[in-house]
Amino acid sequence: MGKTIAIANQKGGVAKTTTAVNLGAWLSLMGQKVLLVDIDPQGNATTGVGVDKNEVERCIYDVMINGLTLQEVIVPSAVENLDLVPATIELAGAEIELVGRAERESTLKKALAEIKDKYDYIFIDCPPSLGLLTINALTAADSLIIPIQCEYYALEGLGQLLNTFHMVQQNLNENLVLEGVLLTMFDGRTNLSIQVVDEVKKHFKGKVYGAIVPRNVRLSEAPSHGKPVMVYDRRSRGSEVYYQLAKEVMGIE
């Protein structure tokens, strides 16, 4: 049975999408069957694995709001073994449309239940908010990965994210656990980056991945080519570190 992992942090630009795309792609290249579920109306994960948003006919919105099954919406990505549930800007309306519904927090969970056993890993790329879309992801997930950017104010807002996590644990999904914390955009030349690593490790004892993602130009270029980084430049540092992370997530290192 597949393991479902939400990648969330209500801050934008902390590398949620970069992590969902590259971790998912590495696991698929390692022979795992992976599904990437894009639930950000910006659809960056969709573009990031080589799917043109303009050509998407049905997206996660149709599942969450119009009652389509995930099977009707899943498309192959540019990477072998990696399937995608695309998102388009249409999803921006879902947050409000869900509010009045009885199963507003568990729509995604219900949809995933039907296809969960077809995959080894399912990654949910969350939008930069703690609204109903992210709550749906946490309700559907077995665990959460939190990417944290090695910047000033790195820990700011994490309290709210953890409150939401505990709220979901208590009311909607008692099995939800913290999978791990991923430090991103590390710059070893700055004391600040080093301080943030220390602080985050103190705060999340034993939960921080050994793989720390450095600032890497290849990682920021790859999405504009619609490719995960290891397809774009396999030997880049960004590619190597996400490989390291994939091994940690699989528990083989």
Closest by Cα among 138, 143, 137, 126 to 179: 143
Strands (DSSP E) contained in the chain are: 3-7, 34-38, 75-76, 82-85, 121-125, 143-149, 177-184
User: Which of ligand ADP, Mg ion, none does residue 10 bind (CB under 5 to 8 Å by kind)?
Assistant: none
Rule CB under 6 A: say whether 213 interacts with ligand ADP. Answer: yes
- Site stretch for Mg ion (CB under 5 A), options 37-45, 155-163, 175-183, 187-195: 37-45
Report the relative pairing of strands 75-76 and 82-85 from DSSP bridges: antiparallel
Total residue length of the chain: 253
Nearer to ligand ADP, 14 or 200 (CB): 14
User: Which of ligand ADP, Mg ion, none does residue 109 bind (CB under 5 to 8 Å by kind)?
Assistant: none
List beta partners, residue 34: 82, 121
User: Which of Mg ion, ligand ADP, none does residue 161 bind (CB under 5 to 8 Å by kind)?
Assistant: none
- Smallest gap from Cβ 212 to ligand ADP, in A, equals 10
The site string for ligand ADP over 165-194 (x = CB under 6 A, - otherwise) reads: -------------------xx---------
Nearer to ligand ADP, 116 or 208 (CB): 208
Rule CB under 6 A: say whether 228 interacts with ligand ADP. Answer: no
Binding residues with ligand ADP: total (CB under 6 A): 18
Q: How far apart are the first and last CA of the chain?
A: 22
Element (H, E) at 162: helix 158-171
Nearer to ligand ADP, 116 or 185 (CB): 185
Q: How far is CA 192 from the centre of its chain?
A: 26
> What is the residue-wise DSSP string for 20-76?
HHHHHHHHHHTT--EEEEE--TT-HHHHHTT--GGG--S-HHHHHTT---GGGT-EE
Nearer to ligand ADP, 32 or 184 (CB): 184
Rule CB under 6 A: say whether 46 interacts with ligand ADP. Answer: no
Q: CB neighbours (10 Å) of residue 34?
A: 24
Residues that bind ligand ADP (CB under 6 A): 12-18, 44, 128, 184-185, 213, 215-216, 219-220, 223, 238
Judged by the rule CB under 5 A, the positions of this chain that interact with Mg ion are 16-17, 44
